[in-house]
């Protein structure tokens, strides 16, 4: 058998195998950190984009109460807001003007439905706000909804980030596939960045409260 034909058949077999495995490979990409229940459950904000063509659900456990996590979500966004707590240099290659901060910005701690911000070409509108529980953004064209859900239990918070996309054309669906691994890299860094900041804030708050108590009881 000619070597060229053998090589062609091997290449075809590899392509078929990868196509068959890709749904399995996508699961850890689209649901990093999420439990099976979190990945498949209906969450607040899903109603903003029904029948999505693409969904990712990523999550992380934070050793801090929800009130130490919420400030970092409330102030997210391009400068002068708090950034996205991910790889700023990558964000700024796309001219997103992201500069992640390590402090709470009081002027951005009261988000309201109707607030807007720009993520590059995407103008996002805040659609759902439940302080310390739910924050949902929707793109101006309605094709993207990004929701954060906080679930506190015994002083720990489960932070869930869900993205829902409408992909109206075959080209947009194909184009999304190579973007999925990249979005995992960025969002994993973001979730870990929020975790670090929230746990540090909670620790600082506990120390401050304890110092105040000691000063009140010490003669």
Least confident stretch, 74-78, 118-122, 132-136: 118-122
- % of the chain beyond a pLDDT of 70: 82
What are the tokens at 26?
A: 């996508």
Give the per-residue pLDDT at 188: 97
CA pair distance 8, 25, nearest whole angstrom: 24
CA pair distance 209, 18, nearest whole angstrom: 55
Coil vs helix vs strand at 217:
helix
The torsion defined by the Cα of 103, 109, 114 and 117, in degrees rounded to 10, comes to -10
CA pair distance 154, 59, nearest whole angstrom: 18
Give the per-residue pLDDT at 22: 53
Give the per-residue pLDDT at 19: 47
Q: Taking every pair of C-alpha atoms in the chain, what is the biggest distance, in angstroms?
A: 94
Give the per-residue pLDDT at 181: 87
Helix (H) or strand (E) segment spanning residue 152: strand 144-153
Average pLDDT, stretch 64-79? 97
Q: Which CATH class is domain 44-214?
A: alpha beta
Q: Would you call 98 exposed, middle or buried from its count of C-beta atoms within 10 A (0-12, 13-18, 19+)?
A: buried
Average pLDDT, stretch 93-119? 95
CA pair distance 202, 79, nearest whole angstrom: 25
Band of residue 174 on the pLDDT scale cut at 50, 70, 90: confident
Give the per-residue pLDDT at 214: 43
Give the per-residue pLDDT at 208: 54
């Amino acid at each position: 058998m000619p070597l060229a034909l053998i090589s062609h058949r091997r290449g075809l077999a590899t392509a078929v195998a990868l196509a068959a495995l890709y749904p399995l490979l996508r699961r850890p990409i689209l649901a990093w950190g999420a439990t099976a229940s979190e990945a498949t459950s209906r969450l607040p904000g899903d109603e903003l984009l029904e029948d999505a063509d693409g969904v990712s659900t990523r999550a992380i456990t934070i050793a801090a109460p929800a009130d130490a996590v919420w400030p970092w979500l409330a102030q997210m966004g391009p400068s002068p807001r708090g950034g996205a707590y991910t790889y700023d240099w990558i964000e700024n290659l796309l001219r997103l003007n992201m500069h992640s901060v390590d402090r709470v910005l009081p002027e951005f701690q009261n988000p309201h439905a109707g607030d807007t911000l720009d993520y590059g070409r995407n103008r996002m509108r805040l659609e759902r706000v439940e302080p310390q529980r739910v924050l949902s953004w929707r793109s101006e064209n309605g094709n993207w909804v990004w929701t954060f859900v906080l679930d506190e239990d015994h002083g720990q918070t489960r932070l869930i980030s869900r993205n829902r996309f409408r992909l109206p054309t075959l080209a947009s669906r194909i184009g999304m596939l190579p973007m999925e691994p990249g979005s995992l890299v960025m969002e994993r860094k973001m979730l870990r960045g929020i975790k670090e900041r929230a746990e540090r804030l909670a620790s600082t708050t506990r120390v401050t409260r304890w110092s105040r108590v000691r000063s009140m009881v010490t003669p």
